[in-house]
């Protein structure tokens, strides 16, 4: 499809591009983000992830297909409101004693989506929308002027941004053709061939690196870290700049040993490609979404240290990494006040 909006835009380069009709599933598009790469960015969150981090705060991003979650506390009750019942062909939803909807089990997805659309109180929440590459670009292009002024652009995130690899690569390619800077936030757990196809269209790779120890990685993340480490080396070989992002979780990967080993790996294997390491503070978030999706929250019984204490620990870890020659900061550079740390992304 020819992208019509650009035909008369004298500043676009090139003026006309062909955008493939590839479709994908996104969770949402967030404009004016300042935490996901340099400048002001539009972040497109793609649905689907092959990892299972115990501390994941976005369980709605794990499955690739759209899903409907239930917030029973918002339900008016089927004795007073029958909007979802009317939208359901089978009327097989389950309610509790207060007539609030508690389960949609056995109802086909299409029907669940109809019911959620009919619900007046947001008790049935849809996560996932099928969109085309050009629909994504229409949204991204709205803030083109801000990208120019701030050095920003488009960031693909997730879930795992590159799990829907054709969709993601087509977005990146089209954005590049339009002169829009691209970042990809990725956990790198996919075949290297997938990465190779996307790499020419990535200006900055924001890479998760969660644990250096193979067994612990498997235990906390649900998969080996080998592919992730190999893919990181591949990005470094391609000379694409890298920002490493580590969600630092107390008693899991938030240890001096793990961060020392991470710094050593970066120095030895990734050479000068890593522009910054961002140590992101663990926050116990997303429990309500686990409940709505009726899946257990793995960190339910975990009590993290007080926020201020953990943020200070992160600053100490960042200092430790800096001393090992790796430019680390606590937070994303502006998330936590961290003036003494070198290497912040402008």
Interface with ligand SF4 (CB under 6 A): 75-76, 78, 81, 83-84, 101, 118-119, 121, 123-124
Minimum gap (Å) between residue 93 Cβ and ligand SF4: 8
3-state SS track over the chain: CECHHHCCCCCCCCCCCECCCCEEEEEEEEEEECCCCCCCEEEEEECCCCCCCCCCCCHHHCCCCCEEEECHHHCCCCCCCCHHHHHCCCCCCEECCCCCEEECCCCCHHHHHHHHHHCCCCCEEEECEEEEHHHHHHHHHCCHHHHHHHCCEEEEECCCCCCCHHHHHHHHHHHHHCCCEEEEEECCCCCHHHHHHHHHHCCEEEEECCCCCHHHHHHHHCCCCHHHHHHHHHHHHCCCCEEEEEEECCCCCCCHHHHHHHHHHHHHHCHHHEEEEEEEECCCCCHHHHHHHCCCCCCCCCCCCCHHHHHHHHHHHHHHHHHCCCCEEECCCCCCCCCCCCCCCC
C-beta of 120 vs 342, nearer to ligand SF4 = 120
C-alpha 248/C-alpha 258 separation (Å) is: 10
Minimum gap (Å) between residue 97 Cβ and ligand SF4: 14
C-beta of 75 vs 228, nearer to ligand SF4 = 75
C-beta of 80 vs 308, nearer to ligand SF4 = 80
Minimum gap (Å) between residue 21 Cβ and ligand SF4: 34
Minimum gap (Å) between residue 57 Cβ and ligand SF4: 25
Which residues lie across from 164 on neighbouring strands? none
C-beta of 74 vs 148, nearer to ligand SF4 = 74
Minimum gap (Å) between residue 296 Cβ and ligand SF4: 23
C-beta of 124 vs 184, nearer to ligand SF4 = 124
C-beta of 75 vs 202, nearer to ligand SF4 = 75
Minimum gap (Å) between residue 99 Cβ and ligand SF4: 8
C-beta of 11 vs 73, nearer to ligand SF4 = 73
C-beta of 119 vs 161, nearer to ligand SF4 = 119
Minimum gap (Å) between residue 121 Cβ and ligand SF4: 4
C-alpha 107/C-alpha 194 separation (Å) is: 35
Minimum gap (Å) between residue 128 Cβ and ligand SF4: 18
């Amino acid at each position: 499809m020819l992208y019509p909006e650009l035909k008369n835009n004298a500043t676009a380069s090139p003026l006309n591009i062909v955008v493939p009709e590839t479709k994908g599933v996104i969770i949402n598009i967030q404009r004016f983000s300042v935490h996901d790469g340099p400048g002001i960015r539009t972040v497109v969150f793609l649905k689907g992830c092959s990892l299972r981090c115990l501390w994941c705060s976005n369980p709605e991003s794990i499955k690739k297909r759209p899903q409907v979650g239930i917030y029973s506390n918002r339900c008016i009750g089927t004795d007073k409101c029958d909007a979802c019942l009317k939208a359901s062909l089978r009327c097989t939803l389950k309610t509790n004693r207060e007539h609030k909807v508690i389960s949609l089990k056995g109802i086909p997805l299409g029907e669940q989506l109809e019911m959620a659309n009919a619900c007046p109180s947001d008790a049935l929440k849809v996560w996932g929308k099928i969109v085309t590459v050009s629909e994504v670009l229409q949204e991204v292009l709205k803030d083109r002027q801000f990208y120019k002024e701030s050095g920003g652009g488009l960031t693909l995130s997730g879930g795992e941004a590159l799990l829907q690899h054709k969709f993601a690569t087509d977005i990146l390619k089209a954005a590049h053709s339009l002169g829009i800077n691209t970042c990809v936030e990725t956990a790198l757990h996919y075949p290297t061939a997938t990465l190779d196809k996307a790499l020419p269209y990535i200006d900055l790779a924001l890479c998760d690196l969660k644990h250096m120890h193979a067994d612990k990685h498997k235990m906390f993340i649900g998969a080996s870290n080998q592919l992730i480490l190999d893919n990181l080396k591949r990005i470094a070989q391609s000379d694409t700049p890298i920002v490493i992002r580590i969600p630092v979780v107390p008693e899991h990967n938030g240890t001096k040993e793990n961060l020392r080993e991470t710094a050593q790996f970066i120095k030895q294997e990734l050479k000068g490609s890593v522009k910054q390491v961002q140590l992101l503070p663990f926050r116990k978030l997303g429990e309500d979404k686990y409940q709505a999706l009726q899946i257990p929250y793995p960190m339910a019984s975990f009590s993290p240290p007080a926020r201020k204490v953990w943020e200070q620990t992160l600053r100490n870890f960042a200092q430790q990494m800096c001393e090992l020659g790796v430019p680390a900061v606590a937070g994303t550079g502006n998330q936590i006040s961290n003036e003494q740390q070198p290497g912040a992304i402008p």
